[in-house]
Structure 1
Amino acid sequence: MDTITHHNINNTLKVSLNNSMSYQAYRSLMGELVATHSTTGLDKSEDMVGYTILNEQRMKRWDKTLKVSAEAQEKIARFKGDVTWLVLTESWCGDAAHVIPVINKVAELHPTIDLKLVLRDEHDALMQQFLTNGGKSIPKLIMIDTASGEVLETYGPRPTGATMLVEDYKAGHETITTEFKEILQGWYNKDKGQNTIEDLLSLLGLH
């Protein structure tokens, strides 16, 4: 990465971090959106509002039921770094509704993992720096060294198992269908966040 690009990313990160919200604030925002029949993002269509309502229910369920094994908790406790996890998201994103509660649970287990969230459509300059295969896929986690501001690693938009599922389907089909979205939701429900926990342990170098 050349110094100009690095400098630009640093400035974009600083602006985004200054505008970021905590997980609790994001969950409050989700509740407010449901109450006012609205959604985040540039597209305020009924479909997007409907997805936001559904995702609020999903996140509420994961907040209550997600389990982090004792083994995973022991590994997280061994983390020696001091990092900020800055996550790009939107309320209508189904993957975000399944993944971000897991990210939060892991962050809560270590005092030097600081989770911050920003909305993708309000932070396009940041999103443009962290595209996935040229697309604005979310959720996207940017792991930053809190002291230096250096970007250490990124993660997302999906856990490794879900990514393989999507790539296998795309290899044989032109577009993602409604039927496939149901299959993907079933995968998340069966996995119960465990693949994401494993991925996050890898992200932290704890395997």
Structure 2
Amino acid sequence: MDFGAYLDVFEKILHDPAPKKPYDNPDYFNYAKLNWSRMHRWLKQAKLAPEAQEAVMQVKAPQQWIIITEPWCGDAAHSVPLMELIAAMNPLISVDYQLRDSPPFLIDNYLTNGGKSIPKLIIRNSEGKDLGTWGPRPAECQALYNSLTAEKADFETLKTALQKWYNKDQGQAIMAELTAVIRGSLADKF
């Protein structure tokens, strides 16, 4: 699905009077509502790093970006809008959104330390060869996550700490890491 279709799926969840699993759980439903707001804030206010803009404009052959995500994912609310805005700058890049928890379960081929962590970006050439991947979160944020998990922090503490990290970083780490992945994808000679 394209970004518009992903937004439609997201919005239908938020307006469904009897949401399906996992959104029938109030926690998941509330995460989705919060993520909708965060995602739209990024779409309106994001200032793309010049390095990211420069890198994406260096893509001279068609690429397909596959973004595996879910509306309940807090990390996705911060990174998916930046991926979309960067990709939209270059007409040679097509983006396909796939839900982690729905067929074809592509995430099973892109596990992070054995887990189905999202969001996950896969960059492919026109022949379907993987040129690079990114996700589920910037390295510094992942280190914070790992530290809090090792300390057995409760979910509320973990969620709050990650949100504070994202707010402070303002998308800079995501853009820097995406820039590196895009530049790495250019090394492929198609």
**Common topology (TM > 0.5):** yes
RMSD: 2.1
Tell me how far 1:42 sits from its aligned partner: 4.7
Asked if 1:201 is matched to 2:179, the reply is yes
TM-score by length of 2: 0.87
Q: Which consecutive residues of structure 1, in runs of 5 or more, have no partner in the other structure?
A: 1-20
Unpaired segments of 5 or more residues in structure 2? none
Match of 1:188 in 2: 166
CA shift, 1:40, in A, is 7.0
Partner SS state of residue 152, structure 1: strand
- Among residues 76, 82, 94, which one is paired with 2:74 in the alignment? 94
1:50 matches 2:25? no
Q: Which residue of 2 aligns with 1:35?
A: 15
- Assess, with a 3 A threshold, how the Cα gap between structure 1 residues 25 and 38 changes in structure 2: closer, same or farther: farther
Cα deviations across residues 17-46 of structure 1 (Å, max 9, x unaligned)? Answer: xxxx11122123222221225667656311
* Structure 1 residue 127, shift from structure 2 partner: 1.7
1:72 to 39, 52, 55: 52
User: Structure 1 CA distance, aligned partners of 2:137 and 2:80?
Assistant: 10
Q: Which residue of 2 aligns with 1:164?
A: 143
Q: Which residue of structure 2 lines up, in the alignment, with residue 23 of structure 1?
A: 3
Instruction: Identify the residue that residue 156 of structure 2 maps to in structure 1.
Output: 178
What percent of counterpart residues are identical?
37
* Aligned residue-pair number: 185
CA distance in 2, matches of 1:183, 1:27: 27
Q: Is it true that 1:83 corresponds to 2:63 in the alignment? A: yes
Cα distance, 1:152 vs. partner? 1.9
Q: Note if contact 1:39-1:48 (Cα within 8 Å) is conserved in structure 2.
A: no
* TM-score normalised over the length of structure 1: 0.80
